[in-house]
Structure 1
């Protein structure tokens, strides 16, 4: 499987510069919760360094890690669509430095310049499509061997 495309690398320079005009630099300490599942989603980040785990609360009180993100990765997309709630939680696995973006401010930029909005959303959707394919592969690896025991197929 190919690596996910990095938003800042593939966004055309003109649009990358426009996006970076509204960025602020932030950092998170190892173990710091960045956001909680079902919390209000109104921002996103592009990781500069460090690792973030995405997690779900499946049972009990401790979240279960489902994925990790590294330098260059986009963290957060739930700011794009109602109900503007995080689908996962996120925690800094190591010290993290990131660019932070206010979702409403970026949406306003997209509304003012539809070409910018299209370019940005196209890259974000490509990143998300890659993550869905990767999750599908992980689930098949986990569950496909068990599907044969029941005689029933396993379909996504």
Structure 2
């Protein structure tokens, strides 16, 4: 169980309290798990499968910005007001996951500040990593040294 990043990030003596809130779920391939702009009232830890994170583009299909898989946390928007999904999410293969009710986890974090601090620190790292990955993709797409760019 502790192979999952978020569980490794929590103090060992707090993991059982956190996992008591988990519910096992599965999503068939091509299932929309979250829609950008809709209420973020839950999150998941992926057991198996892959999920594409995407952004809505008017007049086009959503644009995939990242793919996540086993052991990764799907969703952090539940933690911060206005608690709306910043990205959409779609299963790109059959997915099994632990699902957590966001309100229950926020209440647990309030009751147990040590667990709360560990969870928020872990989520801050995820946000930072995803921001850096997005930055790298933007530099690749629009930077002065992208493939085919003219150098002067």
Q: TM-score, normalised by structure 2?
A: 0.89
Q: Equivalents in 2 of 1:60, 1:14: separation in Å?
A: 49
Aligned pairs (5 A) from 1:68-147: 68-145=67-144
1:38 and 2:74 are equivalent in the alignment? no
Q: For structure 2, which runs of at least 5 residues remain unmatched after alignment? A: none
Q: Equivalents in 1 of 2:23, 2:57: separation in Å?
A: 33
Alpha-carbon offset, residue 46 of structure 1: 0.4
Alpha-carbon offset, residue 67 of structure 1: 0.8
Alpha-carbon offset, residue 150 of structure 1: 10
Q: Equivalents in 2 of 1:10, 1:107: separation in Å?
A: 17
CA RMSD of aligned residues (A): 1.9
- State the Cα deviation string for residues 34-90 of structure 1 (Å, max 9, x = none): 011101111000000000001111121521111111100000011111111101111
Q: Is the 8 A contact 2:144 2:151 kept in 1?
A: no
Q: Equivalents in 2 of 1:72, 1:146: separation in Å?
A: 34
Partner of 1:17: 16
Q: For structure 1, which runs of at least 5 residues remain unmatched after alignment? A: 152-156
Q: Equivalents in 1 of 2:131, 2:85: separation in Å?
A: 16
Q: Equivalents in 2 of 1:9, 1:92: separation in Å?
A: 24
Helix, strand or coil: the match of 2:136? Answer: helix
Partner of 1:154: none
Q: Given the superposition, is the C-alpha separation of residues 108 and 89 from structure 1 closer, same or farther in structure 2, using an over 3 Å criterion?
A: same
Alpha-carbon offset, residue 8 of structure 1: 1.8
Q: Is the 8 A contact 2:26 2:96 kept in 1?
A: yes
Q: Is the 8 A contact 1:35 1:89 kept in 2?
A: yes
Alpha-carbon offset, residue 105 of structure 1: 0.1
Q: TM-score, normalised by structure 1?
A: 0.87
